[in-house]
């Protein structure tokens, strides 16, 4: 099933049992979900252990192409989340498969990225090279870390300017870090795009990472998941990728997405479930109920009542969990927006009430 055939989501769904018992595999994003700035996100270690103990398989799916699965698994294990390299799926692996399906084995590829991208290319029988003058048959860009030299981008621009096929592991403009939001691979891709805009037609990279189908395909091929749950912190990669793949999703608010962005989400960015953090994997998700009381309409969740009456988002009541208030608000905002986005005033006011 593709996203274009999915019904419009107008509210987060309830879940009568913990997701760890409803889904066979959690497809977990890393940055902003499991760790941030190299350190474990609060509640992540114990929550993942509880999910695994309940019988849920864990797979770590990341758009970050800089590190190898072996390195990522080692990092997770040191954080207290035991992981094997086979449980890690990267956008480097997805883009390497794309390239290998188009080029003969042994083809040279100008690799502008980190070790994770070079290893993924070699695993597909391709030879990474460093210069546009090394006779490459294609160009691929992946996140290379904050130390990536400017000259690497120059090599990519020169090669793309010569008409070579252009690939990118992912298009994320930003990535979360322990110190704030930093430029991602998409920002580096933009540099090459600007440097080659003189070409007609202007070149455009073929991209593999979330939310695009090649990444979902790579994940399913490597995990064998039959009832997967995508878990992420970004609407435009994790949640949209789940929507495009026709699978359910859980948004956790430990990364880049805030309440205002969630309330304004278009259909492809609306998660199945919303939660504060990974503890949601072993907790039931509350139901959002529609309220119809005389001339009033709205949505109820956990003691909170939300509506979009009078052209303003409103939140009333007082529940034990502010996330229940956010879930009710999502239902009101998304129902009002339909296939569009909610731009009603009142978001700042209700965020203050919820403390989000």
Instruction: Say whether pLDDT at 265 is over 60.
Output: yes
Given this model, what pLDDT does residue 3 score? Answer: 40
Instruction: Say whether pLDDT at 270 is over 50.
Output: yes
Catalytic: which of 31, 236, 238, 324?
31
Catalytic: which of 24, 29, 293, 320?
29
Reported CATH class of domain 93-207:
alpha beta
Q: How far is CA 87 from CA 25, 121, 289, in A?
A: 11, 19, 37
Given this model, what pLDDT does residue 4 score? Answer: 44
How far, in Å, CA of 35 to CA of 79, rounded?
Answer: 9
Q: Is 320 a catalytic residue?
A: no
Backbone angles phi, psi at 313, to 5 degrees: -70, 130
Mean pLDDT of all residues in the chain? 92
Residues 262 and 330 sit within 8 Å (Cβ to Cβ): yes
Instruction: Say whether pLDDT at 170 is over 70.
Output: yes
How far, in Å, CA of 34 to CA of 233, rounded?
Answer: 10
pLDDT digits (tens, 9 = 90+) for 215-246: 999 999 999 999 999 999 999 999 999 999 99
Q: Give mean pLDDT, residues 269-276.
A: 97
Selection from 163, 172, 237, 143 nearest residue 204 by Cα: 163
Higher model confidence: residue 82 or residue 347?
Answer: 82
Reduced to 3 states, what is the DSSP secondary structure of residue 142? Answer: coil
Indicate the CATH number for domain 3-63+211-282: 3.40.50.1000
Give the start-to-end residue ranges of the domains of the chain: 3-63+211-282, 93-207, 289-354
Given this model, what pLDDT does residue 294 score? Answer: 61
Residue 307 CA from chain centroid, whole number: 29
Instruction: Say whether pLDDT at 140 is over 90.
Output: yes
How far, in Å, CA of 33 to CA of 183, rounded?
Answer: 18
Q: Is 29 a catalytic residue?
A: yes
Instruction: Say whether pLDDT at 356 is over 90.
Output: no
């Amino acid at each position: 099933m593709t996203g274009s055939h999915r019904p419009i989501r107008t509210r987060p769904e309830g879940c009568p049992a913990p997701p760890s018992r409803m889904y066979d595999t959690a497809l977990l994003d890393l940055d902003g979900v499991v760790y941030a700035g190299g350190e474990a996100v609060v509640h992540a270690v114990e929550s993942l252990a509880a999910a695994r103990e309940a019988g849920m398989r864990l797979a770590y799916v990341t758009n970050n192409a800089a590190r190898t699965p072996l390195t990522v698994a080692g990092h997770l294990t040191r954080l207290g989340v035991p992981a094997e390299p086979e449980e890690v799926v990267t956008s480097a692996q997805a883009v390497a498969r794309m390239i290998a399906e188009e080029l003969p084995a042994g083809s040279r590829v100008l690799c502008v990225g980190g070790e994770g991208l070079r290893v993924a290319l070699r695993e597909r029988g391709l030879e990474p090279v460093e210069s546009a003058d090394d006779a490459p048959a294609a160009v691929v860009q992946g996140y290379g870390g904050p130390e990536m030299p400017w000259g690497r981008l120059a090599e990519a621009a020169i090669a793309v300017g010569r008409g070579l096929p252009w690939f990118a592991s992912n298009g994320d403009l930003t990535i979360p870090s322990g110190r704030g939001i930093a430029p991602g691979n998409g920002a580096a891709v933009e540099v090459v795009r600007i440097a080659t805009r003189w070409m007609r037609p202007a070149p455009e990279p073929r991209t593999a990472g979330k939310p695009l189908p090649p990444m979902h395909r790579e994940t399913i091929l490597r995990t064998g998941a039959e009832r997967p749950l995508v878990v992420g912190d970004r609407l435009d990669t994790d949640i949209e990728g789940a929507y495009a793949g026709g699978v359910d999703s859980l948004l956790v608010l430990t990364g880049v997405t805030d309440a205002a962005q969630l309330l304004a989400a278009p259909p492809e960015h609306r998660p199945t479930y919303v939660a504060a953090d990974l503890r949601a994997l072993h907790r039931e998700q509350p139901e959002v109920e529609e309220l119809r009381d005389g001339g009033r309409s709205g949505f109820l969740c956990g003691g909170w009542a939300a509506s979009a009456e009078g052209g303003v988002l409103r939140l009333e009541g007082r529940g034990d969990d502010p996330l229940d208030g956010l879930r009710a608000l999502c239902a009101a905002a998304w129902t009002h927006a339909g296939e569009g986005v909610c731009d009603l005033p009142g978001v700042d006011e209700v965020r203050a009430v919820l403390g989000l």
